[in-house]
């Protein structure tokens, strides 16, 4: 069976991929599941940290687990790595059940936020440490260590820094050495636990693009844990959004942003107007909702809601159009009163109240040609029914809830 890493990484090291995931493990083709989380539950005494997680991660995928502090993402990652054992369910790597296999016998590698490079060794020797310990020059032929280290240093763009010691590198460069070191044994998957958390904001942004480029270049599956939605949206092929031990939704960044499955996902990813309402009926492809003190048509979500059932209407602020005159055309519209305006560079954030007192937020760009508005001004807001989404009823997070949700986890 062809191996993605052979295709992406240069050289002829097909046999170099050790099947340490257990008897009979074989490298999988791109797109096939490399990690299977099979109905996994993890309890710490009575505390349910992960509840029946059930999903697969494909070979070559950049997969992120995203959620607020304490949602169970690190515990899930640690179970894949072998540092924790599932209370129920199984974890399979390349088709083999590894639930009771120790971490160092699993063909995965982990990069932590606080990685430790060997300070007395050069960059080159730091990267060479793993393959030298595994004596791959003996098993795979002389020169294999050098070939791999040179190749990985090139991929992380540190060839010219090979002779330096870690203390002579910037934070971002040190992080790239840690990555090269974790990749040099060609793991089936690289597990990354908030690896950019210790870097400052600018460097973090630069490293997001670097990480994605490196992952594409090596073609190895990356499983990335973060509480930072921007990080997950920028880099991932797919994201699992977790909340209180549950996987709420798995999808591509676009799917999760455009079609969140729940109120939690809608409010955790990007900004969202969320209003409680009641479904009246289906009208062709659209649902009719009693919401904001009026009746509006909206795009139905994945959960069917019966007539008379409680629901939540979601509209992203950038989809809300604001006008002084009543809008024309096939739109959902309500009257509103301006309460606040904030200039945010590319957009003006406009806060308004609907006649029933519900808050409405619009991000208005220059293309809307809006006249200068002041608090107290009466306007009309509108959106295409297709730009809205009907979600199952749930408590709508308050500003305080959101602040708590986005609070960075305490530094260890
Ligand atoms: P963070 O971003 O803060 O690391 P997380 O989503 O990664 O959050 P986990 O570390 O997976 O969260 O923890 C999930 C829950 O399980 C938390 O409430 C945590 O306190 C608890 N937990 C984790 N490890 C243990 C342990 N060894 N013993 C008891 N409880 C634990």
- 50 CA from centroid of ligand 1 (Å): 9
Best CATH choice for the domain 271-395 from the list 3.20.20.140, 1.10.10.10, 3.30.2320.50, 2.40.50.100: 2.40.50.100
Checking if the pLDDT of 392 tops 80, the result is: yes
Query: Hey, which CATH number is domain 4-257, 3.20.20.80, 3.30.420.240, 3.50.50.60, 3.40.50.300?
Result: 3.40.50.300
Averaged pLDDT for residues 154-171: 92
**Predicted confidence band of residue 203 (pLDDT cuts 50, 70, 90):** confident
Query: Does any ligand 1 atom lie closer than 6 A to the CB of residue 41?
Result: no
Q: Is residue 148 in contact with ligand 1, taking CB distance under 6 Å?
A: no
pLDDT of 25: 43
Q: How confident is the model at residue 134 (pLDDT cuts 50, 70, 90)?
A: confident
Q: Provide mean pLDDT across the span 305-326.
A: 94
Q: Which residue has the higher pLDDT, 4 or 387?
A: 387
Lowest mean pLDDT, pick from 131-145, 202-216, 315-329, 389-403: 131-145
Closest atom of ligand 1 relative to the 75 alpha carbon: 11
pLDDT tens digit string along 102-128?
A: 998 899 999 877 778 999 999 999 999
How far does residue 72's CA lie from ligand 1's centre (Å)? 6
- Tell me: the pLDDT tens digits for 207-239? 888 889 889 988 899 999 999 999 999 999 999
Helices (H), 101-260: 123-133, 136-140, 144-155, 171-183, 201-218, 229-235, 253-258
Residue 398 has pLDDT above 50, yes or no: yes
293's CB contacts (< 8 A; 6+ apart) are 334, 354, 355, 356, 358
Residue 242 has pLDDT above 70, yes or no: yes
Atom of ligand 1 nearest to the CA of 227: 2
Nearest CA to ligand 1 atom 3: 69
pLDDT of 395 over the 80 cut: yes
The two tokens of residue 71 are: 């949602």
- Give the closest residue (by CA) to ligand 1 atom 25: 44
- Burial (CB < 10 A; 0-12, 13-18, 19+), residue 212, is middle
The conformation of residue 190, written as its DSSP 8-state character, comes to: E
pLDDT grade, residue 31 (50/70/90)? Answer: low
Q: What is the pLDDT of residue 29?
A: 67
Backbone angles phi, psi at 235, to 5 degrees: -105, -25
Nearest one of 216, 218, 260, 254 to 238, comparing CA atoms: 254
Domain ranges of the chain: 4-257, 271-395
Position 411 confidence tier, pLDDT thresholds 50, 70, 90: very low
Cβ(293) – ligand 1 distance below 6 Å: no
Instruction: Please state which of the ranges 8-22, 113-127, 146-160 shows the lowest mean pLDDT.
Output: 8-22
232 vs 25, higher pLDDT: 232
pLDDT band at 27 (very low <50, low <70, confident <90, very high): low
**Which pLDDT score is estimated for 5?**
38
Nearest CA to ligand 1 atom 21: 49
Residue 97 has a pLDDT of 94
At residue 316, the pLDDT reads 96
Q: Is the dihedral of CA 91, 85, 89, 247 positive or negative?
A: negative
């Amino acid at each position: 069976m062809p191996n993605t890493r052979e295709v992406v990484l240069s050289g002829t090291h097909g046999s170099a991929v050790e099947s340490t995931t257990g008897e009979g493990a074989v490298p999988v083709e791109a797109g096939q599941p490399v990690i299977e989380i099979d109905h996994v539950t993890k309890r710490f005494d009575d505390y349910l940290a992960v509840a029946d997680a059930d999903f697969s991660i494909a070979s070559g995928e950049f997969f992120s687990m995203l959620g607020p502090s304490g949602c169970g993402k690190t515990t899930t990652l640690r179970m894949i790595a072998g540092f924790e054992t599932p209370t129920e369910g199984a974890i399979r790597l390349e088709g083999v059940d590894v639930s009771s296999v120790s971490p160092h016998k699993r063909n995965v590698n982990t990069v932590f936020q606080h990685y430790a490079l060997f300070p007395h060794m050069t960059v080159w020797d730091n990267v060479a440490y793993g393959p030298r310990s595994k004596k791959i020059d003996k098993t795979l032929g002389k020169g294999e260590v050098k070939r791999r280290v040179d190749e990985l240093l090139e991929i992380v763009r540190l060839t010219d820094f090979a002779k330096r010691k870690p203390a002579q590198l910037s934070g971002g460069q040190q992080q790239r050495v840690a990555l090269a070191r974790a990749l040099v044994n060609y793991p089936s998957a690289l597990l990354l636990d908030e690896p950019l958390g210790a870097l400052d904001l600018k460097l973090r942004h630069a490293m997001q693009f670097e990480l994605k480029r490196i992952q594409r270049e090596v073609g190895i599956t990356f499983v990335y844990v973060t509480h930072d939605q921007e990080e997950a949206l920028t880099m991932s092929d797919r994201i699992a959004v977790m909340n209180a031990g549950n996987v709420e939704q798995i999808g591509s960044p676009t799917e999760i942003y455009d079609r969140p499955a729940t109120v939690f996902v809608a409010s955790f990813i990007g900004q969202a107007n969320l209003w409680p309402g009641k479904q009246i009926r289906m009208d062709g492809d659209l649902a009719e909702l009693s919401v904001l003190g009026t009746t509006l048509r909206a795009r139905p979500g994945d959960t069917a809601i019966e007539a008379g059932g409680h629901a939540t209407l979601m509209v992203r602020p950038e989809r809300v159009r604001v006008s002084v005159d009543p809008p024309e055309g096939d739109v959902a519209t309500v009257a509103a009163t301006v309460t606040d305006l904030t200039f945010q560079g590319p957009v003006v954030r406009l806060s308004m109240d609907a006649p029933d007192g519900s808050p409405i937020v619009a991000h208005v760009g220059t293309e809307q040609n809006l006249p200068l508005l002041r608090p107290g001004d009466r306007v009309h807001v509108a959106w295409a029914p297709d730009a809205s989404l009907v979600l199952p009823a749930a408590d709508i997070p308050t500003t305080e809830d959101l602040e708590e949700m986005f609070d960075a986890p305490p530094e260890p």
